[in-house]
Amino acid sequence: MSSSQAERQNAILARNKEQLGVLQENWPLRWVMMRTSHPGNVGSAARALKTMGFADLHLVNPAYPRMQNKAEAIALASGALDILENSQTHTETLSAVGDAQWVFGLTARDREFGPPAISLPEACDLAAKALIAKQSVAMMFGTERTGLDNEDLEVCTHRVWIDANPLYPSLNLAQAMMVVAYSLRQAMMQQLLSKTSPEMPEMASAVAVAKMLEHWEAGLVAIGYLDPDHPKKLMPRLQALFARAGLRQEEIDLLRGIAKQMLLHGKIR
């Protein structure tokens, strides 16, 4: 090996070591798998996350209790057993996303309502900037057969699609997670190499938005604007409106104050 080749190789190794150190930081990032059917996909997802330098895996209502302990999951994790062992299982979506302020739901299907739709590069750019600004992020993936349903998307700030062959846009669940993990790693490194501190709005958490919507629903029922027996599509429309607005915590407080007054002056005393 020539001296110039050795220098290039050493530079590459140094850069890789620096990048690995950066991505081993405790970024506030969760990877959420909804109602997963196959243990092998959990194991493959763990392997994909570890390969790209990520770790925090959360399962919501998987088909089997302790799915991460199944033999197929362990086999396909291929050395990423720490990701499986440290993963958490939840019965509620809000518990899985935790205090995430940015929740990106991966789905290829268009929806009548729901959060704004953006491409994967746009989502990863936003997520990278948020993480570097120390804001919490969750990436949410649906079931193997049907993906995310409308109720899942109610807690998301954005709906994200992966550009693929329009004649065959089908990705295996673990493959989709690998594509997203790789894309997010690249976006984070790009942001870190820019040496600038991104300015990001301090978004309210998904839990705070969901609780505010519950408060508003009760207030709208109280003043007679929402018929609980025939709700039609009022609440999905409001959820989509607030998702597009990108609410901050002080705005959540303001909206909950309005809901409180609706309850005080409506039919419910």
Q: Which fold does the domain 206-265 belong to in CATH?
A: Helicase, Ruva Protein; domain 3 (1.10.8)
Residues 6+ apart with CB under 8 A from 116: 158, 159, 243, 244
* Residue of higher predicted confidence among 49 and 168: 49
**Domain locations along the chain:** 8-193, 206-265
Per-residue pLDDT tens for 72-95?
Answer: 999 999 889 999 999 999 999 999
The residue with tokens 């938005």 is 209
Q: Largest alpha-carbon pair distance within the chain?
A: 83
Q: Taking the domain 8-193, which CATH number applies? A: 3.40.1280.10
> Hey, which bits of 19-168 come out as E strands?
29-34, 57-60, 88-90, 102-106, 117-119, 137-141, 158-161
Q: Which of 177, 139, 186, 176 is nearest to 22 (CA)?
A: 186
Per-residue pLDDT tens for 34-70?
Answer: 999 999 999 999 999 999 999 999 999 999 988 999 9
Least confident piece of the model among 6-15, 31-40, 150-159, 245-254: 6-15
What DSSP character marks residue 64? S
Predicted TM-score of the model (pTM): 0.86
